[in-house]
Structure 1
Amino acid sequence: MASIKTILRKTSLRNGKYPVLLRVTKDRKSKFFGTPFEANLNEWDSKLGRFNKKFTQQLKSNRLIGKFEDRALEVISELEMNQDFYSLNDFERKFRTQSNPEASNIFAFWQEQIDEFKAAGRMSNAAIYHHTKNSMQKFTKQKSLHFYEVTPTFLDKYEVHLRNKGGTGGGIGVKMRAIRAIFNVAIKRGIIDEKLYPFKHYNISKLKGKAIKKALNIEEVHNLQNLDLSDKPHLINSRNFFIFSFYTRGMNFADMMRLKWSNVSGDRIHYTRAKTKGNFIIKIMPPVKEILDYYRKNKRPYIFPILFRDNLTPTQLNDRKRKTLSKFNKDLKELASLAEIDKPITSYVARHSFANCLKQKGAGTDIISESLGHQDIKTTKAYLKELDTAILDEASELLLQ
């Protein structure tokens, strides 16, 4: 039977304090495992293996030490039940989460995930993870947080904190899904045990966005398309972006930004969607051909005047996308006013409008789903259901006319 005890290491650190270690002894051999704590000699009770009253946050810190010891005893019990013989190395492998503060520190692992996303060029994911990590650090007011501290109760309190800060269900849901993904990866990589997973009891599905998807009807799209912008040349690119997206099955702005003339072959556009990696072949309709002809004179590798050279880093691409998209959305407000469209329009509305107009023309859900590139028709049904709400609202208003 192995034994455990929490001790101070005999050698002090540069700051004069002593690291708090968990000592595990078996067969007259010992291994020492680090904890996040350190203390002065007069702050430690060596007999009890606990902080004394002179230590700041004595009670909380002692409770955490108790949890370290409980988990060590739990690992020992599992090893003794499942193996006839085990070594301290076996214990160390199983206890790696608690024995390595950096491994059990969710913020440290979180930053690794952010760095991996950036290296892979997945800047949107990196941004979501970064903002969520910062948000949780502000909530906890500490730089270190261990996986086992993120319980369903912790998540409930974090949700309340976000709502008090003005957060909505949809925004909170984005953060919670990022946290859930962190846990899933940590479990998959063997960093933590599945028992620490808090989302078996914390329900993310309750966090739904309240914003209803907005969409234009075909008449409104035509109004935008036919605007005379001879005296407002600063809006031409943004109008072209919107119309191009609409007639290319709601092409995402990030994909439009990366679109090259090499993607155009005959009367078709061939491209791979960045988000889903799905391959699309889209027929060039007259409005799209007109826009392509407008930019063909520029003689650049990229179709649209957003990217002007190759070999940009993921950070540079993301910065360029963010700046251009911001101007695009700002211009769309002015374009909507000129076209007498009393609806908020953003870059996403082109995609919603494409789906809405197809449905109004009688296209089946399966056709719309394939056109949008949805991998599951349930996604399309949910998509169209939200659009239906806006359509029904407009239909009800006819009673007032």
Structure 2
Amino acid sequence: MATFRFELNGRPTRNKTYVVYLRVTVGGKRKLIKTMVEIARPCDFNAKCKGENWIRGGVRDAKVLNAQLADILAKAKETYKELDKEGEVTTVALAKEMNTEVVSPSFMAFARERAQMIYDNGGWRNWRKYCGLINKLDAFRKKRRMADITVADMTVELLTRFDNFLHKWENEREPGKLLHPNTIEVQFNILRTLVHRAIEVGIMEASKDPFLVFKYKGIKTIKEKLDDSEMERIINLELENGSLIWHCKNYFLFSYYCAGIRAADLIQLRWGNVTASGRLHYQMGKNHKERDLLLVEQAIEILRHYQREDEKATDYIFPLLSNDAEYAGYVTQADKDRMRPELRHKMYQDISSKNALINKYLKKIAEKAEIEKPLSMHISRHSFAHIAQESGAESSAIKNILGHSNLATTERYMGSFDTSKTDETLRNVFAKKQSSATATEESGATKEEQAIELLKSMTPEQIMAVISAINK
């Protein structure tokens, strides 16, 4: 099967006109075929017209232009039928048979179309990320005085120039600073995903993938986390019962006691997620993984503050989202996946707003507890991983309880690798050397005798290392 649709090239010609193209899709492969129809203004074209009125009626010679487009469409369909009979139908063969030029599709239009698909499928977080990249690409296009960024424009040279452009971009969240290298890495990760998607749908050749050559990697950062003593200061902090700051302390500690449950998941918890056997069972919104956690006594104590006699299983546990909201009727993750895009958008806006409110009060809690680190809900997750590691928990167990797919992610949460064994090794090695050296000095032995005694206390590997160093 083939589909045919007219669309307008967003890049004006030298004569300041806009060319109409016929977009042909055959077997998932898409190409643009140039027509001879040109118009003066983009608003004069209607891609979603009824009938054959692609050029609006107010345009001079609109009837003639529409007739030309209708003829082109008819010819394309007829040519397709003929090629299909011969078993040689492809977009390139179709364009060649029609004796026309195949042009490169708009990458910007493709990116916007993909972002809209993500929005329609409920991926609000990803939609925001895609929109951020599109806005930056558009600003880059304008600065370069490019009418459009086509698929053919996506080269290593363009990515290199875009890289340089991003390194001069002002950081909106931190005025006076530029984008963080890791934020730039995120932009290129999304761009790479778009390029690979373009290859999958057939509007770009795999051999033209610029990311086969172009690479960008951010910098390693240290995940902020609290140690055991800092957590104790928060736990013991006296706050007015029932106050907003008191509630925010409860939210943070409940997340910590539940192995760092993410803020968005905590905000959406319902009483039905608490089992009769004293466990918390829910599905993570980020990756849809199931989590089944034992509720420790400290977590149960927090829940007691929010229990009511008339509570329902579908009611939210914490007083953050309204049980009367329209989206509250979508309980399971499967229900949420079928939510209307605009309703899902509203729900995530409310969740983001509540998360920001909690983080605002966590900063005040940090001040009261004399903690200089930037306290936020997500730090509870990092803190749990770090403190669990310090208590002797295996990395694999921490990985499973956090719901990570990759151990490397867990290790980043815990911080640097476990230094307890290396610390002990250093103490033992140098304590042994020190004691040997002290003993030989006190005995009045010669330097040669001291060296022999010292060598006796060393391993063969250490001796070989000494010999190697002497021979250099």
| TM-score normalised by L of structure 2 | 0.61
Contact 1:35 1:100 in 2 (8 A): no
Contact 1:215 1:387 in 2 (8 A): no
- Pick one of 172, 189, 210 that aligns with 2:201: 189
Contact 2:264 2:355 in 1 (8 A): no
- Pick one of 268, 284, 296 that aligns with 1:285: 296
Asked whether 1:319 is paired with 2:349, we answer yes
Q: Distance in 2 between matches of 1:18 and 1:253?
A: 49
- The amino acid of 1:33's aligned partner reads I
After superposition, what is the alpha-carbon deviation per residue over 1:282-334, rounded to whole angstroms, capped at 9, x for unaligned? Answer: 11112211221111228361111222135421111121122111111111110
SS class of match (1:215): coil
- The amino acid of 1:250's aligned partner reads G
Q: Distance in 2 between matches of 1:36 and 1:203?
A: 40
Match in the other structure for 1:199: 211
Q: Distance in 1 between matches of 2:302 and 2:96?
A: 61
State the shift of 1:219 in Å. 2.1
Q: How does 1:142-291 map to 2 (within 5 A)?
A: 144-165=148-169, 166-204=178-216, 206-208=217-219, 211-230=221-240, 233-266=243-276, 267-291=278-302
Q: Distance in 1 between matches of 2:305 and 2:189?
A: 42
Q: Distance in 1 between matches of 2:375 and 2:117?
A: 34
Q: Distance in 2 between matches of 1:200 and 1:110?
A: 20
Q: Distance in 1 between matches of 2:412 and 2:214?
A: 23
Change (3 A) 1:218 1:146: same
Match in the other structure for 2:69: none
Q: Distance in 1 between matches of 2:36 and 2:362?
A: 52
State the shift of 1:388 in Å. 6.7
State the shift of 1:203 in Å. 0.9
Asked whether 1:294 is paired with 2:298, we answer no
Change (3 A) 1:324 1:388: farther
State the shift of 1:365 in Å. 1.0
Change (3 A) 1:19 1:112: closer
Match in the other structure for 2:319: 305
Larger-gyration structure (1/2): 2
Please, which runs of 5 or more residues in structure 2 have no aligned partner? 1-14, 23-30, 41-85, 170-177, 328-342, 423-472
Match in the other structure for 1:358: 388
Contact 1:212 1:387 in 2 (8 A): no
Contact 1:139 1:161 in 2 (8 A): yes
Q: Distance in 2 between matches of 1:189 and 1:18?
A: 26
Match in the other structure for 2:93: 91
| TM-score normalised by L of structure 1 | 0.72
Q: Distance in 1 between matches of 2:326 and 2:36?
A: 42
State the shift of 1:378 in Å. 2.6
Change (3 A) 1:340 1:255: same
Q: Distance in 1 between matches of 2:221 and 2:196?
A: 28
Please, which runs of 5 or more residues in structure 1 have no aligned partner? 1-14, 23-30, 41-83, 393-401
Q: Distance in 2 between matches of 1:136 and 1:36?
A: 30
State the shift of 1:191 in Å. 2.9
SS class of match (1:117): helix
Contact 2:115 2:130 in 1 (8 A): yes
State the shift of 1:361 in Å. 0.3
Contact 1:215 1:349 in 2 (8 A): yes
Change (3 A) 1:220 1:94: farther
- Pick one of 349, 372, 396 that aligns with 1:342: 372
Q: Distance in 1 between matches of 2:264 and 2:387?
A: 23
State the shift of 1:232 in Å. 8.3
SS class of match (2:306): helix
Q: Distance in 2 between matches of 1:242 and 1:21?
A: 56
Match in the other structure for 1:130: 131
- The amino acid of 1:249's aligned partner reads A
Change (3 A) 1:242 1:262: same
Identity over aligned pairs, percent: 28
Over the residues paired in the alignment, what is the CA RMSD in angstroms? 3.3
Contact 1:139 1:158 in 2 (8 A): yes
Change (3 A) 1:350 1:191: same
SS class of match (1:33): strand
State the shift of 1:19 in Å. 3.3
Contact 1:107 1:143 in 2 (8 A): no
After superposition, what is the alpha-carbon deviation per residue over 1:88-143, rounded to whole angstroms, capped at 9, x for unaligned? Answer: 75524899xx8476xx2122221222222222222111110011110110111156
Contact 1:137 1:143 in 2 (8 A): no
State the shift of 1:379 in Å. 2.3
